[in-house]
Structure 1
Amino acid sequence: MKRMLFRCLWAVALVGGLVSCREKSGTPSAAAIRAINLNRGAPITCGIPNQKFGFSGFSTSCPASRKEAFNTAVSLLHSFEYEEAEKAFAALIDQEPGCAMAYWGVAMANYHPLWAPPTPTELAKGTQAITIAQRIPQKTPRETAYINALAQFYQDGTTTPHAVRCARFEQAMATLHATYPTDKEAAIFYALALNGAADPADKLFRRQRKAGAMLMALSLDAPNHPGIIHYIIHSYDYPELAALALPAAKKYAAIAPSSAHAQHMPSHIFVRLGLWAECVASNLDAAASARCYAESSGLKGHWDEELHALDYLTYAYLQQADNQRAKAQWQYLQTMREVQPANFKVAYAFAAIPARYVLENKLWTQAAHLKIPTANVAWHQFPWQKSMLHFARALGYAHIRQPDSAQQELRQLQAYQDTLMRQQDQYKATQVAIQLKTAQAWLLAAQGKPQEALQLMRQAADTEDGTQKHAVTPSEVLPARELLGDLLLQLNQPQQALAAYETSLVQHPNRLNGLYGAATAAAQTGNAAQAQRYYQRLLASADAPRSTRPELAVARRFLAGQQPRLQ
């Protein structure tokens, strides 16, 4: 890693020299442009032909003949089609090497505010591009403001934490927006910056609400702008706010039908609202579009967007009680040996899909023996993702009463938490800490220590309630508050269990286990009417035909007036 960073910094220094010697001409040298190592080629589209990515309307001082091409590139940015956006900006640079905003576009394509931090290669490329943009003299004051704002993110990129640089970009975009209040794109990119700098522990969603309000106002005059609609979804991608984004979720895929990400993104809101059929449809389209992209681009293996869609698809199928289709996604995943790029969301899908299947179905023996997938993932780089498999194994061993093996998994979870703390990744370290406490709680319960188990499980649930799920995932593998309900039910405390389930269902509406647990707990308290309501909701939500999930059989017996065998 240090050698790669040195090479990247050397390249940046080289470009600085190449640019400075040609500043008087105002056009970067061919050598400086080559040194950026731009992705090139025609942008790949899947779905409806003719590059349907929506229209942005971003004005620049670049030649008028390049206006449409620039706007297509910006529209690609707005749908997070970053590699294709870079290709489009690279084509502009080849045609108009003095167009400063084309280099700004390359730098934006390597930032991706709502995803993982740039890799060292991406960071170096973005730094080179924004440095060139700053040194080109032929640009307007507005363009200079855009370029300098993004430079705030890339400044000291190898020494300053990512979160700090995101905050600097947000502050710079706030100034830009205030300086050019009628510039629609400035407001849109400021909203994106607000979401990128949002604090995961802020349960009032201050930045997200501010971004959402700005975007909703803009949507009145530009209802089909891809950035406005896309970022509304991100701004309101929280249970408390998700209903506000439902109209945007229902139209985004049609605005940018050639974008795989645009096909997938509405499912973020569908998941938040427990709309499983809509989530399935969205991700079937997204996965098909991603496969088309992989084939069209000549990728070796699969594209990362396909695995991202499969994770959401598996989750929705499980909530519909459709084990057959959920398991088919896992089996398909097991055939994959090569995914490009093998990034954080690829690692997440490889870990989450099998963990979800076995844990949602309470297949404890299978959970205990889950294996690390053998695809081309550098697992040592992804301790949080890898922890999900060890979490599933720890729960599995606790339930089948193999405490020594469970303790071994707990030690591994502790090691991952320690690694993330050393990396100063507080969010992911907290997520692993929740898993660790949860697994410890269930092991204590198996060892006949109910009070200690409940204390730890409540701590885990309280901690999780104070954070938000990462945007890469449809949900935690198992919500901690729901697991608290499971534990209380097992310990014959149905009234408290019901309260835990109901609280969890506010954050995770229409989860199969949450609805079933609430109905079971209500029945055990003697509240038949409340149990009936939850069982009815369960059958309405988990509506897969010919499902063999035992929870549905219990619900049907109860509603038919028969006495269910409650667990």
Structure 2
Amino acid sequence: VAAPDAGHAQHMVSHIFYALADWKATEAANVRAAGVVNSQRIASGREATSCGHYNEWLAYSLLQQGKDASDLIKSCHSQAAASIRKFEEGGRSDTSVLQGTWSATRVANFLGVDGAEWIEPLELPAVPETFAARFQQEHGQLLKDRHDPVIVREKLNMLMQLRDERLQYAREQDPDREPEFPVWALRAIEQGNALLLLAEGKREQGLAKLEEAAAAELDLPIEFGPPPIFKPSYEILGEELLDYGRREEAVEAFGKSLQLAPGRWRSLAGQATTLR
């Protein structure tokens, strides 16, 4: 194996494997990468970690194979909870300890969306360093309860509030520059708007809005890694259409979901169901 002591070198080949939906090879590459990182952490006197970029890819690839990723994901989540306690007990002065919260909320959403097991949300402190983690966690909870209009509205409002807070913070940090909000976070809000219409029983409006959101996702450059939106809107659209008996339209929606996120087992399963 080339560059056996370089975790990033071990990981980078999995970008190719992801594009090919080769989950076994993706898993193996990130097992190696995470192993290198943890060996180096232990050698420097630090604890091993279940969080981080390589473990995120590992968790996603395990779930796409139908394997159990819950131990890895719950370990990351526990480490993030411990870092939050450390932050609070240390007088909330060292925000660097909160870095793992982004990773923990990300993989928790993977487990919920792709593994149908939702972890209790973290008690994330409201500091700038957790903007992304808080946004991800609220988005995950919206997806979890996407058929409940009260919860969807509450979580959607939280997403928009976090958007406004982050933009305001960015303006305060650099008054001479108009900030931009991350494009995929904006897509999550648009997905939430569509899901609220569906949860409220406004079927045709909701489906139209969801298709609009899905098309906008597909127009963005493809990222060769776990989907930047936790559940592609085309996948949700396919599931909704299938529930309404609109099988031909559902086939097309699942196919477009697989363009955005190759090899997703839920999109593949939905497609297989429509073709029976």
Q: TM-score range by the shorter chain?
A: 0.7 to 0.9
Alignment of 1:65-104 (within 5 A): none
Partner of 1:321: 66
Partner of 1:32: none
* TM-score calculated relative to the size of structure 2: 0.81
2:190 corresponds to 1:437:
yes
Contact 1:379 1:386 in 2 (8 A): no
Match 1:414 to one of 151, 160, 163: 160
Alignment of 1:429-508 (within 5 A): 430-468=183-221, 474-476=226-228, 477-508=230-261
Alignment-mate amino acid for residue 65 of structure 2: Q
Contact 2:234 2:254 in 1 (8 A): yes
Secondary structure of the structure 2 residue equivalent to 1:274: coil
- The whole-number CA distance in structure 2 between the counterparts of 1:379 and 1:302 is 26
Contact 1:484 1:497 in 2 (8 A): yes
2:16 corresponds to 1:269:
yes
Evaluate the alpha carbon distance shift between residue 379 and residue 280 of structure 1 in structure 2; reply closer, same or farther with a 3 A threshold: farther
Shift of residue 487, structure 1, vs aligned partner:
2.0
Partner of 2:134: 386
| Matched pairs, number | 255
Deviations 1:140-190 (A, max 9, x none): xxxxxxxxxxxxxxxxxxxxxxxxxxxxxxxxxxxxxxxxxxxxxxxxxxx
Partner of 1:237: none
2:103 corresponds to 1:349:
yes
Contact 1:494 1:521 in 2 (8 A): yes
Partner of 2:36: 289
* TM-score calculated relative to the size of structure 1: 0.42
Deviations 1:19-48 (A, max 9, x none): xxxxxxxxxxxxxxxxxxxxxxxxxxxxxx
Partner of 2:115: 361
Shift of residue 507, structure 1, vs aligned partner:
3.0
Shift of residue 414, structure 1, vs aligned partner:
0.7
Alignment-mate amino acid for residue 121 of structure 2: K
- The whole-number CA distance in structure 1 between the counterparts of 2:55 and 2:24 is 14
Evaluate the alpha carbon distance shift between residue 433 and residue 492 of structure 1 in structure 2; reply closer, same or farther with a 3 A threshold: farther
- The whole-number CA distance in structure 2 between the counterparts of 1:373 and 1:332 is 16
Shift of residue 373, structure 1, vs aligned partner:
5.9
- The whole-number CA distance in structure 2 between the counterparts of 1:362 and 1:417 is 27
Alignment-mate amino acid for residue 388 of structure 1: Q
Deviations 1:293-334 (A, max 9, x none): 1111223x4569x52111101100110011x2x111112213
Partner of 1:396: 144
Larger radius of gyration: 1
- The whole-number CA distance in structure 1 between the counterparts of 2:209 and 2:136 is 18
- The whole-number CA distance in structure 2 between the counterparts of 1:321 and 1:263 is 23
Alignment-mate amino acid for residue 348 of structure 1: W
Partner of 1:371: 121
Deviations 1:276-305 (A, max 9, x none): 000111111111111111111223x4569x
Evaluate the alpha carbon distance shift between residue 490 and residue 393 of structure 1 in structure 2; reply closer, same or farther with a 3 A threshold: same
RMSD: 2.7
Contact 1:390 1:409 in 2 (8 A): yes
Deviations 1:375-429 (A, max 9, x none): xx88532423421211111122333x3x22321111111112224444355361x
Evaluate the alpha carbon distance shift between residue 483 and residue 285 of structure 1 in structure 2; reply closer, same or farther with a 3 A threshold: same
Contact 1:395 1:443 in 2 (8 A): no
- The whole-number CA distance in structure 2 between the counterparts of 1:502 and 1:491 is 18
- The whole-number CA distance in structure 1 between the counterparts of 2:121 and 2:274 is 34
Alignment of 1:191-202 (within 5 A): none
Evaluate the alpha carbon distance shift between residue 310 and residue 321 of structure 1 in structure 2; reply closer, same or farther with a 3 A threshold: same
2:56 corresponds to 1:308:
no
Overall identity of the aligned pairs, in %: 24
Partner of 2:73: 330
Contact 2:114 2:266 in 1 (8 A): yes
Shift of residue 444, structure 1, vs aligned partner:
2.2
Contact 2:106 2:136 in 1 (8 A): yes
Alignment of 1:77-226 (within 5 A): none
| Greater RCO, 1 or 2 (C-alpha within 8 Å, sep 6+) | 2
Contact 2:232 2:260 in 1 (8 A): no
Contact 2:152 2:195 in 1 (8 A): no
- The whole-number CA distance in structure 1 between the counterparts of 2:44 and 2:96 is 13
